[in-house]
Amino acid sequence: MAVHTSQSVAKAAGDDVARGRSRGTGNPPPPSRLRRALSVHWYAWTMVAPVVIVIGVIIGYPLFRGLWLSLTNADERNVARSIGVNEIPATYEFVGVDNYVDALTGGQFLSTLGWTLVWTVSCVGVTFCLGMALANILNRKIAGRSAYRMALILPWAIPGFVSVFAWRFLYNEDRGLLNKLLTGSGFDGIPWLNDPTWAKFSVIAVNVWLGVPFIMVALLGGLQSIPSEQYEAAEMDGATAWQRFRHVTLPGLRPVSTTVILLSTIWTFNMFPVIFLLTRGGPGEATQILVTQAYKFSFEISPRDFAQSSTWGVLILVLLMLFAVVYRRVLRTQGDNW
Amino acid sequence: MTTLTETNARHAVRKPRLRGDRSPAASVVLHLTLIVASVIAVFPVLWVLLTSLKPAKFATTTDFFKETTFENYSNLIKDTEFLTWFGNSVVIAGLTTVLGVFVSATTGYAVSRFRFPGKRGLMWTLLITQMFPVAVLIVPIYNIMASMGLLNQPAGLVITYLTISVPFCAWMMKGFFDTIPREIDESGQVDGLTPFGTFWRLILPLAKPGLAVTAFYSFITAWGEVAYASAFMVGDENLTLAGGLQKFVNQYGAQWGPMTAASVLIAIPAALVFLFAQKHLVTGMSAGAVKG
What element of type H or E holds A77?
none
Please give the angle made by the CA atoms of A268, B135 and A59, to the nearest 5 degrees.
Answer: 105
Same domain, B59 and B99: no
What is the separation, in whole angstroms, between the first and last Cα of chain A?
17
Q: What is the pLDDT of residue B251?
A: 57
Residue closest to A258 by CA, chosen among A321, A332, A319? A332
Alpha-carbon separation of residue A322 from A115, A120, B133, B213, B289 (angstroms): 19, 15, 14, 31, 18
For residue A162, which phi and psi values (nearest 5 degrees)?
-70, -45
Whether B155 contacts chain A with CB within 8 A: no
Asked if residue B285 lies in contact with residue B172, where contact means CB atoms within 8 angstroms, the answer is: yes
In a domain, B11, yes or no: no
What pLDDT shows up at residue A125?
Answer: 95
State whether B201 and B161 are in the same domain: yes
**Tell me, what's the pLDDT at A16?**
39
The answer, as to whether pTM is greater than 0.90, is: no
Q: What angle do CA B65, B71, B76 make, to 5 degrees?
A: 120
Question: Minimal Cα–Cα distance from A289 to chain B, Å?
Answer: 11
B66 plus B85 within the same structural domain: no
The CA distance from A323 to A315, in Å, is 12
User: Do B50 and B193 fall into the same domain?
Assistant: no
Q: B14 in a domain, yes or no?
A: no
Chain B residues with beta carbon closer than 8 angstroms to that of A130: 37
Q: What is the distance, to the nearest Å, from the Cα of residue B203 to the centroid of all Cα atoms in its chain?
A: 24
B67 and B101 assigned to the same domain: no
DSSP state for residue B72 in the 8-state scheme: H
Residue A188 DSSP label: P
A66 touches chain B (CB under 8 A): yes
DSSP, collapsed to helix, strand or coil, labels residue A192 as coil
The answer to whether B131 faces chain A, any CB pair under 8 Å, is: yes
Chain B CB within 8 Å of residue A16 CB: yes
Instruction: Answer yes or no: do B246 and B104 share one domain.
Output: yes
Residues B30 and B110 in one domain: no
Integer CA distances (angstroms), A329 to A251, A323, A326, B121, in order? 18, 10, 5, 17
Low-confidence ranges of chain B (pLDDT < 50): 1-7, 9-14, 288-292
Give the H/E segment covering residue A125.
helix A107-138
pLDDT of the residue at A4: 40
**Looking at the DSSP assignment, which residues form a beta bridge with residue A83?**
A86
Distance, CA of B34 to CA of A147 (rounded, Å): 10
Check whether residue B162 and residue B147 sit in a common domain. yes
Residue span of the structural domain in which B190 resides: 80-290
Spatial separation of the C-alpha atoms in residues A166 and A274, rounded to whole Å: 12
| Fold of the CATH domain A106-300 | MetI-like fold (1.10.3720)
CA proximity to B122, closest of A266, A46, A51: A51
Low-confidence ranges of chain A (pLDDT < 50): 1-26, 337-338
Asked whether residue B56 falls in the same domain as residue B135, the answer is no
Find, in chain B, the residue whose alpha carbon is nearest to that of A50: B103
Q: Do A55 and B33 touch (CB under 8 A)?
A: no
Cα gap A104→A312, rounded to integer Å: 10
What pLDDT is attached to residue B191? Answer: 86
- What's residue A299's pLDDT? 84
Name the nearest CA neighbour of B116 among A249, A2, A298, A159. A2
What residues contact B173, with CB distance under 8 A and at least 6 apart? B101, B104, B105, B107, B108, B109, B112, B207, B210, B211, B214, B284
B107–A51: do the CB atoms touch at under 8 Å? Answer: yes
Q: What is the per-residue burial (b if ≥16 Cβ within 10 Å, else e) of A234-249? A: bbeeebeeeebeeebb
Q: Looking at residue A85, what is its pLDDT?
A: 67
* Domain match, B50 and B190 both: no
Is the CB of A161 less than 8 angstroms away from the CB of B226?
yes
Q: Which residues on adjacent β-strands are paired with residue A86?
A: A83
pLDDT digits (tens, 9 = 90+) for A287-311: 899 889 888 888 888 778 888 888 8
Residues on chain B touching A47 (C-beta within 8 angstroms): 106-107, 109-110, 114, 195-196, 199
Q: List helix spans (H) across A160-249.
A: 160-171, 177-184, 196-224, 228-236, 241-244
Write phi, then psi, for A176 (nearest 5 degrees). -70, 155
Total count of domains within chain B: 2
**In-domain check, residue B13:** no
Given the DSSP bridges, would you call strands A81-83 and A86-88 parallel, antiparallel or unpaired? antiparallel
Tens of pLDDT, residues A176-224? 888 888 888 888 878 888 888 899 999 999 999 999 998 998 888 888 8
User: Which residues of chain A make contact with B62, given a CB cutoff of 8 A?
Assistant: 177, 180-181, 184
Bond preceding residue A303 cis, omega within 30 of 0: yes
* CA B196 – CA B288 distance, rounded (Å): 22
Clarify whether residues B144 and B278 are in a common domain: yes
Q: What pLDDT was estimated at residue A331?
A: 79
Question: Does B70 reach chain A within 8 Å, measured CB to CB?
Answer: no
User: What's the confidence (pLDDT) of residue A15?
Assistant: 39
Domain ranges of chain A: 2-19+27-88, 106-300
**Domain membership flag for residue B6:** no
Domain with residue B119: its CATH number is 1.10.3720.10
Task: Compute the Cα dihedral for A21, A25, A31, A34 and give only its sign.
Answer: negative
Q: Residue A17: what pLDDT? A: 39
Same domain, B132 and B39: no
Residues of chain A numbered 191-250 and touching chain B (CB < 8 Å) = 209, 212-214, 217-218, 221-222, 231-232, 235-236, 238-241, 243-244
Q: In chain B, which residue ranges form alpha helices assigned H by DSSP?
A: 2-12, 24-52, 71-79, 82-113, 119-129, 134-148, 154-178, 182-190, 195-197, 204-206, 208-223, 227-232, 241-248, 256-290
The residue among A213, A108, A245 whose CA lies nearest residue B275 is A213
A266 reaches B (C-beta below 8 A): yes
